[in-house]
Structure 1
Amino acid sequence: MRGDLVRKLAARCLSTGLAVLAFVVLALTGATGWGLTLAVAAVVASAAEQRIRPGADLVAETTLIAAAILVGYSRRLDDGLNLALVATALVLLGLVLLVGPLRTAANLEIRAANLPVRAWTPLFADRLGSALLALLTALALAAALALPAWVALAGSLLVGAGTGVVALDLARRRFRPSAGGGAVGRALRRHQPEFLLYFSAPPGSEYQVTMWLPYLQRIGRPFLVVLREPEFLAPIAAATDAPVVYCPTLRAMDEALVPSLRAAFYVNHGAKNSHCIRFTQLTHIQLHHGDSDKAPSANPVSGIFDRIFVAGQAAIDRYARAGVQIPADKFVVVGRPQVESIEVRAEPARGLANPTVLYTPTWTGHHADADYCSLPVAEELMRRLLARGATVILRAHPYTAQNPASARQLGRLTELLVA
C-alpha cells in the first residue's frame, strides 16, 4: 500500500511539474523547440498518471499543456493574432472542462461483455481524456512543423464534434431513457438467463468469482454475472462465456434483472448485496468464497439469504458455536467442488521420503479477530521443510500485499524458494 501511494504521488508530481515547466519555458523564454518537447513529455507523464490513477483529475495539467502548445504554435507562425488558434483554444478549453463530467456520466451507464451489444457512447466518454492527450500531442507536432493554424483547428473540431455527439447521447439516456429499456436489457431478455451470480468487492477480489464460474457453467443453464465495480468487467468476462453486466446504479440493476431469472448466487457478504436481495422474486443463495474457522465464516449477515451452501456439517456447527442462530433449513451441504480432483491418500503422509507440501497462508484480515496469518513464523517453517527434502508449493492469499509487513514476509519466502 505504501509503495502504491509513493507511485501515485510520483506520477502526480511528474505530470504537474512538467506541465508547469513547459508553460513557463514557452511563455517566458524564446526556447520554443525545448518548450514543445517539454509539453510532449508532460502529455506522456499525464497519460502515465491516468494509468496509475484511473479517474485522476488532470484539468490543471491539460489546461497548462494546451496553453503552452498554443503559445508555441503562435510563436512558430509569427503572424500576430491568429483567429484559427483562438478558436482552437476555445475548443480545447471546452474539451478540458468536459472530460470529468462526461466520464462521470459514462460511469453511470450500464455496460456489458459477452453480449451482442456495443455501447460506444460510454466507451468514448471514458476514453475522452486519452483522446485529448493524443490531440495535444498532435498539436505539439503541428506546432513544431509550423503547419497552418487551420490544421490545428480542424483536428480540434473533429474531436470536439465527437465529444458533442457523446454528450448529447449521454444526456438523452439520462433524462429521456427508453421506455422499453436499453440495448443491454433487450439482449438479456433474448438470452433468457435463469440465474445470476452477483458480485461486489474491493479491487483484486475477482478470484472470488472465478473459482465458482466453472461449476455454475456445468449446470448447463443460461446465466449472467452482475458486477457493481467497473474494474472487474474485463477480467471476469475473459473467464466465462456467460454475459457479464456492470450495473453502476439501482436503475441499471432494474434493467439487468430480467423476468426469466429465478435465483441469485453470492460469494461474499459485500454491503451492496442488499441492492440485489431487494428483488424478492428471486431465491438468494450464499456460496462464500472459502470455508474455514475464520470469524467471517460465521457472519450473522448470512441469515438474510434464503439458502446457505456449505461444505459440510462443520460449517453449520460453526454458526451455532458463534452464537449465530440461523434456521437449519437454510443450510444446504454441497461439499467443496474446487477440491474434487484432489486424491486423498489412504495411508499417513508422515514419513514420506520426498513429500510435496502445499503452503497456503491466509492474510491478516481487516480486524484482529480475523488475523489467522502464519507468515510471521513461515520462514523457519519453510526452511525446515526444505531441509528434509520437501518440495514446497507456496500460494498466498490474494490480499496479502495489502499489509506491508506481510508483503515483505512473502517476498522473503519467495526468495527462499527461488534460491
Structure 2
Amino acid sequence: MQQPGRIQIGILGPLRVAVAGRPVEIAGSRVRRLLVRLAADAGRTVSVGELLDAVWPDHEELPDGATNALQSLVSRLRRALGDPSLVVARPGGYRLAVERNDVDGYRFTDLAADGRRELRAGRPEAALTTLESALELWQGNPLTDADDAEYAGAVIARLGEQRIQAAGDLFDAHIALGRAADVVAPLEELAAGDSSPEAFTGRLMTALAAAGRTADALAAYERLRERLADELGVDPDPRLQAQHLALLRGQTATVATDTERAGDPPPTRRATNIPTALTSFIGREAELERLGDLLDHGRLTTIIGPGGAGKTRLSAQVASAWVDRCHDGVWMIELAPVTDEVNIPQAVLGALGLKEVKLLDRRGDGSPRDAADRLFETLRDADTLLVVDNCEHLIAALATWVDEVLARCPKVKILATSREPRASSVNRCA
C-alpha cells in the first residue's frame, strides 16, 4: 500500500494534522470544521453550499456575506497548512489536494479491505498484521471536530461499521492462528455490548469451543438468545442457531462470518453481468489489444462509432478479460432505455445486481437523489469496471456523472460506448 505523503490528516478522533512529519495546529473551530469537511471527501470538489452547511451547521448563525466569510476561512486554512496549493479553488467549490492515503479515514478503509482479502485468501498472519495497522489508526470518535454538521452522520456510521467489521476480521485471524484463548476476554466484552452482539457472540462461541470450553460457548449463546427475546422479541441469526446445534451434537462449530459463509462454495469467478458470448469473436484483435492497453493505463475509455458497428460486442469482449482482475466485478450498464438523466444512478444501481451483492442501502425513499447518494457510497471504495453502453442520448449529463465518479471513486474504471464523443477528456478507440 502506498505510504502517506508530505501531509497527513487525522479525522479518526480529534483533528490532527502533520506536514513533513511536523504537527500543525489548526486554530479556530470553523477552520477545523472546514478542513474536516474537505478531508471527508479528500480529492473531490466540495461545493460552497456543502462547506457552508459544514462550517455553520446551525443556519441561524450563517453570517451576511457567507461566501466571503468562507473565502476568509479558506485563506486562514491555507496559511495554517503552509502551502496554498493544498486547498484548490474549483468552479463552485474547493478541493483538498491530497492523496487518498494522506487521510487516516481512507487509509483505514483501504487497510481494512486489504486485511479482509488476505483473510479470505487463507493468509491469517498477513491479515492480522494489516488489520492491526488499520485499527491502530483510531484515536477516538471519528469527525469529532465536525460538531453537529449533517453530513457527518453518514460518514461516522460508515466508518463505525467498517471498524466493527475489521475488529471481527481481526478476531477471526487470531482464531485461525490458534490463538482462540487470547481473544475470549475481549470477545466477551464486545458480545455484551450494543454493537453487533450476534457477530461477536458467534466468534466468542468459536473461540470458547476451540479452547475446549464447550459449556461456556453454549452459555454464551443462551445469554444472547434471552437478550434478543427480551429486547426485540426475536431469535438469534439462523447461522448462530446452526452453530449452537452443532455444539450440542459435539461437533466442531465455527461461526460463519461475513468473510466465510457456511455452505457457500469458494468463489471461482468475480461477479459480473457481462453476457456469455454464444459465438466466436475474430477479426478485431487490434482493437482488443488497443482497448486493453488503454484500460491498463487509464480509468476512462470511450468506444466511438456509428450504430451497428459492433461497439457493444467489442466492449463486452474486452470487459470479460477484466472480470478476474476487478475485486468487485465488471458490470454492463445499458442506458438505451433511460430517457431522463436523473435516472442514470438508478440504472447503474440496477445493473450492479443489488440483491446479490448487497450494495443497496434500503433506507430512504428511493428518490433519484437518494439513488445517487447510495451509488457513490457503493462505488467509493469499489475496485470495478463499469461498461456504460449506448450513452449518446445522455451525453452531457453522463459526462458530468462520469467525471464525478472518477473524482470520488479512485478504483473505478469506465469503458463507455457512444455514437458521439463525451464532453470531457477521454481515451478513445474510434
Q: Larger % of helix: which?
A: 1
TM-score (structure 2 length as normaliser):
0.23
Higher alpha-carbon Rg: 1
